[in-house]
Structure 1
């Protein structure tokens, strides 16, 4: 193996001849492998950690086995059940809990049903299920009282306690078909964070719709109560820890859980042994939860692969450029050896040895560098989710192999071609043919770019059909890259005209440098296309990356505001609705407060949600600043300016306009708004004082308990109830109905009165005469009278009213009803009422706490124009703003009037006065929704005899960014106010989603390294370009051109190329960001983010990237221009040199 060039040793020694280019090739391969291996590991770890994070917060991640409870049987079955659960969830740490619960729901009468909400006898109230949990403090926390003990105590959730209007020490009946069980409320609880999966499993097992309706009791109560002990289930619930799950484990986990839940659970648990439990069954929503992870994981992987693919293309261009320069460097030597008779195999072997000596170690080193690179990102505070530990895995070696194959093909195939036939003459092309070919290529590139854009438009918000097959969305990944490359190649056509313009400009002078540089650029003699493309791609990636990073935070705030509905959203709490307004409005940093109320119904058989807010309180907040994209404080509702259709402020004003609504069947009537309803109370009363008397046809001690309730509406439209017990002795007296504690939202008005008579089995059905002489501090408005608005009983026939024969009535009406109603002289209301039939009653001992869940024991009164009957007309009409889905699904248009139905019964009308794209804080995207004024809604429900609505939440608008933070801290510090969700917290959660955090790290890595690729590639190009023109420079030197002038030619020539590439890349990146980002930014479900992404160009960082790249390349040009302008005249001009 001597110096004759045979074998690898000679090739190794000859590698020093091309040390600069081979070194550049090695650096390029090392950099490409390290970056792409790091990004590949980051992609995998980001998806895995995102999957684990999503499952850890999913309340459906549980597996339950339940069976019929029998004394002692649960202890025998405990071991086999736990073993079966562990078999179904192998490899995971499993927490198993056992509870005993009622097998079917019972009923708790709600406050609404007590006031006459039922529409038919026998309608159910609040469905609940008694549940005995060992150590309940592990799953819930008390807000009031103590945990239940004994056989007569229960603990209620905050939501149920609020709807029932009870607190600790109160009595509630658990109603079954065969009677009621009076229970004392020992405590009020709320679920502990992190226990959601257990609560959901228990709720599903009890056939409930919400875990709020689980009533905690002692195990002793369930075992010893005869009405319950024969209908009990024991349930084991397993909660796996997803911290060790891998993506490839999901399909196996899903299949094992489906086998257990879809087959014979008893056989799977006991494996042929004796079964101590009957009716054993298994249930789980784990398959559903895992199925829903497919789209988020695919979206996350696709989002990560966009910067990976961008850098992959950039790396490929850089490697091909360095490989091409290596080929050009040794072309003359190869031709000389070919002329001397060297064989093709030996030439290829020498070239391969030279190439492998530098690139293979670089590729291996790149794999090992990927880990430290990721740890460096982690040191900078960027999330890498454990990717550093997996950086040297199989995927990294696959990346290294791919890079070596690409670079090797680019470097060695020209050697094979040259050795095979020498330099082939390029056939000459006519000018017309060349123009036609370039035009054809341009048309193809434009078509490719347009096709990629159309594909993104077609699948905007959707995963393309090929996604499931490849594990990512190929359209989402490839289309931006294709558009970027095609656009960059098209814009390269501008370089020759730029050179000709420079050349023409330079001819006006007398120097040599400018014309010569312009001539080189205009004719492409220096091979500027590849380096310009490289730099343009690098800067486009940088500009695109900075735009994504700059736009993510404002987009997160917009999405969070749409989800929350306002700056802050407060739910739950211990305070009464009336007192909550004063407490929340007094918080620091709060500009406005409104309750949020929702009503469910149907319009043209389409499920519709009606949302109500106090438009008078929030209308002034609908300003351009609060409705701007990325705003820190928001309007209420938090509508972004591009989602409104018209002026939101004016539309909110229309919702709250006072006026009479059509209550006499005149459905076209204008002026719909807040109907005249209720009697306004003067001053700031703490109680409603009513002058009232009630007489019974039966003796006082033979008449069931009587309760007078008043519905009181505050200034926002929120209605609360106050009640007092009456004595049916016919004596007129003033009774006081307390309004609760706290600062109420004055002024108040009484919108409804109701009388409830508890039926007692041992008594006779009473006839009651109710007289209301007056309400202190309130006057009856002109033109209205108190009228009977009891739902479900529209005529007195069948009630057995005095003086009525009830002829033609097929059966008696068991519900309470009004026989007649009038306005006495000097009074407000006089009514004859028939109590409920005692056959649906209870024993006298339980009468004080018993309430019919259907509301059949209650009659209701409200103010109506002229005291019109409730059966006349269609009821009130409320102005409404509707979303686009409402118009699309129902087929109505703006200006039309529609009716909202519930269980087939008319509720109230909606007059469509405007449209919004969607309603923030509502039922969700693409669900038909309407927004109304709360006072108008309360008025419409009052005159229709519908029960008052409870507040779902409270929306708070902050006066500033810091004010929102102060208010959030204040609510969090006072549990009595409830739980708070803020735009800040939701936006932070979106930003910290592991599915997205890896993409952010990838973007930062792309931003930092894309200029490095540009500098490295351009350096190789500059060196190669100058060396390829050494003979040209030698001739110029021989003609008298000074070295300084040659350096100036190189400087100006490369500076033009650099400037053009910098400008091209910056403009291309920003333009592509404007076109592409709104199409590729999708949520976890693969849908386009809503509200849509508003373009936010990171001008500062974009300028930094452009300047850094320009300065880096410019520095290379300055340093190399003088060095490369040096020419050895004797050697370069010697005949025969260089082949």
Structure 2
């Protein structure tokens, strides 16, 4: 599966471009890219997109790994079967409880295998100096439906917020004592006496370090983020992730809030993002390979550097319709491909498209703001012959996508081929083909017979001069073969030229737009050669038979010519 966020980016001149983010570290395993769209295969085309770019010496950009492999990802790893996460936390004001009786809202940031962050609520934690267990359901969405993020999951951050006290600013101390992971109840996990799954203590790696900041809003003014100094426990037996002290600020004219952001320290965020650009994007921006372009993604300005180019990118047409979860062309494995989407329509107005790495762009956005690119659809690849079964399972889920939003490549192809508007002309062409073959063969045969009749006297003279009958027949067949060959060659060339010129102009999407990538006209050379040979064989065979029969009557023709 692949969760590709799809968004648009505004360009100069009123143009907009489609930006597609993929997990490029694994996309080449199933990604389909026509050979005519790029100068290199998909496997090598995506190489380097997972590397961030930093400003280096004058000899060019410096690459650094901003999208590590799953084994080296940032954060605290959770067991693969985790469905519920518990945090034993304590918030202290001074030596005990908050004088204002405050309670802080706690959010836990977890990252799935694709680098997509999820901010999940752990509820309210009273500021009373006591230990409280906050619980996060990892397999439930805001609507309380089951929808577990793709594991393995990692805890990458915490968010804390609340209302500032009115009397005076307070200093709070947040301590996370331990993390507890609970598996699904039907898993083979240790169970307590009442049959429920027992939570498992999550080990915090010794190398985990935290960074944090606090922002205070007093009235209508927001302060600049204040840097915090979280402390991580580093003893070999430690299971407590961190402790940190932060200010709450003071409410001004009855209003005020504080927000604390804590993140696990990871690889340095890239200053620029490597991208693959289409030719249309290069024309719209006037950029070339190696140039950098500033784009606005998720409300933040991001600089992307074009490292490779392609002629076109699949699924990025002038109107990539994700309202039904469908792009113009699906870029999944040929025997599978079900995508789901949201009520969003992304329109590219001649600005082309960009392909970037999902994990890298989210790392760049997370370093600047608490935002990310969220997936708007899912691409799935299945085993051969299993696409229908997977699609049926998705459509039958009560908490899954609407059935109309689950699209299968085979079903889409069958629907297009069965379209009455297109099936009629195709059937007519199939019926006309044998008639055209018969007419062309008959025309060549009639022409050859007429030519042979006109040359009867000439052939009679040659026969009288001693030319063998078979030699004359071969001569006639050779002459007619040259004429037939020239006619077939000219006709085939015109047919190929017209097919390549007209077919791309007559094939449109359901929205009357040109499909992307454009239609590729491929002629089966072997079948064309067999077709031409069949057309030529009939008149040549008729010519040979007529020439042989004419040879027997040449003496009579010669006497008739002498009488005249």
SS state at 1:1000 partner: helix
Q: Is the 8 A contact 1:816 1:859 kept in 2?
A: no
Q: How does 1:420-569 map to 2 (within 5 A)?
A: none
> Which of residues 439, 462, 486 in structure 2 aligns to 1:1013?
439
Aligned to 2:263: 862
In structure 2, distance between residues paired with 1:1130 and 1:934:
88
Structure 1 pair 940/1100, CA: closer, same or farther in 2 (3 Å)? Answer: same
Taking the TM superposition and a 5 Å limit, the aligned residue runs for 1:128-147 are none
Match of 1:499 in 2: none
Contact kept in structure 2, 1:655 and 1:673, CA below 8 Å: no
1:1051 aligns with 2:452: no
Q: For 1:50-76, what per-residue CA distance to the aligned partner results, in whole angstroms no more than 9, with x for missing partners?
A: xxxxxxxxxxxxxxxxxxxxxxxxxxx
SS at match of 2:248: strand
SS at 2:312's partner residue? coil
The separation in 1 between residues aligned to 2:549 and 2:35, in whole angstroms, is 57
Per the alignment, residue 122 of structure 2 pairs with 724
**Equivalent residue runs for 1:983-1132 within 5 Å:** 983-992=409-418, 996-1029=422-455, 1048=470, 1051-1065=473-487, 1067-1068=489-490, 1071=493, 1077-1082=499-504, 1083-1084=507-508, 1090-1091=517-518, 1093=520, 1095-1100=522-527, 1102-1111=529-538, 1113-1115=540-542, 1117-1118=544-545, 1121-1122=548-549, 1126=553, 1132=560
1:887 equivalent to 2:313? Answer no
Q: How far off is 1:1012 after superposition?
A: 2.2
User: Could you report, residue by residue, the CA deviation over 1:619-672 in whole angstroms, capped at 9, with x for unpaired residues?
Assistant: 3x2xxxxxxxxxxxxx42x32233234453244342234x79689xxx965415
Checking the alignment, whether the CA contact within 8 Å between 1:1031 and 1:1132 is kept in structure 2 is no
SS of aligned partner of 1:596: coil
Residue 108 (structure 2) aligned to one of 710, 730, 748: 710
Q: Where do 1:872-911 residues align within 5 Å?
A: 876-901=271-296, 906-911=300-305
Change in 2 beyond 3 A, CA 1:1006/1:980: same
Q: What secondary structure sits across from 1:1107 in the alignment?
A: helix
Residue 247 of structure 2: aligned partner: 832
Contact 2:314 2:517 (C-alpha < 8 Å) held by counterparts: no
Work out whether residues 11 and 285 of structure 2, in 8 Å CA contact, stay in contact via their aligned partners in 1.
yes
Secondary structure in structure 2 of the residue aligned to 1:727: strand
| Cα deviations by residue, 1:708-741 (Å, 9 ceiling, x for unpaired) | 1112101221222321222323324332222115
- Equivalent residue for 1:262? none
1:644 aligns with 2:38: yes
Structure 1 residue 955, shift from structure 2 partner: 1.6
Deviation at 1:774? Answer: 5.0
1:87-107: per-residue Cα shift (whole Å, max 9, x none)? xxxxxxxxxxxxxxxxxxxxx
Deviation of 1:913 (Å): 2.9
Distance 1:1007 1:1021, change over 3 A: same
Structure 1 residue 747 and structure 2 residue 152: aligned?
A: yes
> C-alpha deviations, 1:151-174, integer Å up to 9, x for none?
xxxxxxxxxxxxxxxxxxxxxxxx
Q: Residue 934 of structure 1 is aligned with which of 358, 370, 384? A: 358
Match of 1:917 in 2: 311
Q: Does 1:671 align with 2:64?
A: yes
Q: Distance in 2 between matches of 1:661 and 1:787?
A: 23
**1:1089, distance to aligned residue in structure 2 (A):** 7.2
Q: CA deviation at 1:997?
A: 4.0
Q: Is the contact between residue 788 and residue 862 of structure 1 (CA under 8 Å) also seen in structure 2?
A: no
Indicate the SS of the match to 1:671.
strand
- Report the counterpart of residue 543 of structure 1 in structure 2: none
Structure 2 counterpart SS, 1:1014? helix
1:757 and 2:162 matched: yes
Q: Aligned runs of 1:957-976 on 2, under 5 Å?
A: 957-960=381-384, 962-964=385-387, 967-968=390-391, 970-972=393-395, 974=397, 976=399
* Aligned twin of 2:367: 943
Q: 1:1054 to 1:603 in 2, by over 3 A?
A: same
Q: Distance in 2 between matches of 1:1031 and 1:825?
A: 110
Decide whether the 8 Å contact of 2:5 with 2:377 is kept in 1.
yes
| Whole-angstrom distance in 2 between the partners of 1:733 and 1:817 | 30
* Cα-to-partner distance string for 1:493-541 (whole Å, 9 max, x where unaligned): xxxxxxxxxxxxxxxxxxxxxxxxxxxxxxxxxxxxxxxxxxxxxxxxx
2:229 to 809, 812, 822: 822
User: C-alpha offsets along residues 1067-1090 of structure 1, whole Å, 9 cap, x if unaligned?
Assistant: 555555665543333133686973
CA distance in 2, matches of 1:612, 1:647: 19
RMSD: 4.7
Distance 1:601 1:977, change over 3 A: same
Q: Distance in 2 between matches of 1:783 and 1:598?
A: 33
Cα distance 1:1086–1:830, how it changes in 2: closer, same or farther (>3 A)? closer
Task: Go from structure 1 to structure 2 and tell me whether the alpha carbon gap of 1:894 and 1:723 turns closer, same or farther (over 3 Å shift).
Answer: same
Is the contact made by 1:1034 and 1:1132 (CA closer than 8 Å) also made in structure 2? Answer: no
Alpha-carbon contact 1:884-1:915 (below 8 Å) kept: yes
> The residue matched to 1:746 in structure 2 has which SS?
coil
Correspondences of 1:115-514 after superposition (within 5 Å): none
Between Structure 1 and Structure 2, the one with more strand by share is 2
Task: Say whether the 8 Å CA contact 1:677–1:863 is kept in structure 2.
Answer: no
Residue 172 of structure 2 contacts residue 248 of structure 2 at CA under 8 Å; is this kept in 1? yes
Corresponding residue of 1:656: 50
Distance 1:1032 1:894 in 2: 70
Q: In the alignment, is the contact (CA less than 8 A) between 1:656 and 1:935 conserved in 2?
A: yes
Structure 1 residue ranges without an equivalent (≥5) = 1-592, 622-634, 801-811, 842-855, 869-873
TM-score (normalised: structure 1): 0.36
1: CA distance between counterparts of 2:415 and 2:174? Answer: 58
Shift of 1:959: 4.7
Task: Find the residue that maps to 1:594 and give its secondary structure.
Answer: coil
Aligned length: 479
Secondary structure of 1:920's partner?
coil
CA distance in 2, matches of 1:835, 1:1075: 77
* Alpha-carbon distance between aligned partners in 1 of 2:363 and 2:549, rounded to the nearest angstrom: 87
TM-score by length of 2: 0.68
815 and 875 in structure 1: CA distance in 2 versus 1, 3 angstrom threshold:
farther
Choose which of 725, 736, 740 in structure 1 pairs with 2:135.
736
In 1: Cα distance, 2:33 partner to 2:423 partner: 27
Residues 726 and 768 (structure 1), Cα distance of their counterparts in 2 relative to 1, 3 Å cut: farther
Give the deviation of 1:839 after TM superposition.
Answer: 6.5
CA distance in 1, matches of 2:208, 2:558: 116
CA distance in 1, matches of 2:106, 2:391: 39
Higher helix share: 1
Deviation per CA, 1:469-500: give whole Å up to 9, x if none.
xxxxxxxxxxxxxxxxxxxxxxxxxxxxxxxx
Quote how far apart the aligned CAs of 1:958 are.
4.1
- Give, in whole Å, the separation in 2 of the partners of 1:778 and 1:1065: 80
CA–CA distance in structure 1, aligned partners of residues 373 and 254 of structure 2 = 31
Alignment partners' CA distance in 1, 2:439 and 2:297: 65
The Cα of 1:594 is off from its aligned counterpart by 1.8
**SS in structure 2 at match of 1:946:** coil
Change (3 A) 1:1086 1:881: closer
* CA deviation after TM superposition for structure 1 residue 678, in Å: 4.8
Change (3 A) 1:857 1:997: farther
User: How many Å apart are 1:702 and its aligned residue?
Assistant: 7.3
Match of 1:680 in 2: 76
Q: Distance in 1 between matches of 2:255 and 2:455?
A: 107
Matches within 5 A, 1:681-700: 681-684=77-80, 685-694=82-91
Matches within 5 A, 1:31-70: none
Aligned equivalent of 1:615: 24
Show CA shifts across 1:419-438 (max 9, x none).
Answer: xxxxxxxxxxxxxxxxxxxx
CA-to-partner distance for each residue in 1:178-212, whole Å, 9 max, x for gaps? xxxxxxxxxxxxxxxxxxxxxxxxxxxxxxxxxxx
Within 2, Cα distance between the matches of 1:858 and 1:888?
Answer: 44
The alpha carbon displacement at 1:939 in A equals 2.1
Which of 176, 180, 197 matches 1:773?
176
Which one has more relative contact order, counting CA pairs under 8 Å at least 6 apart?
Answer: 1
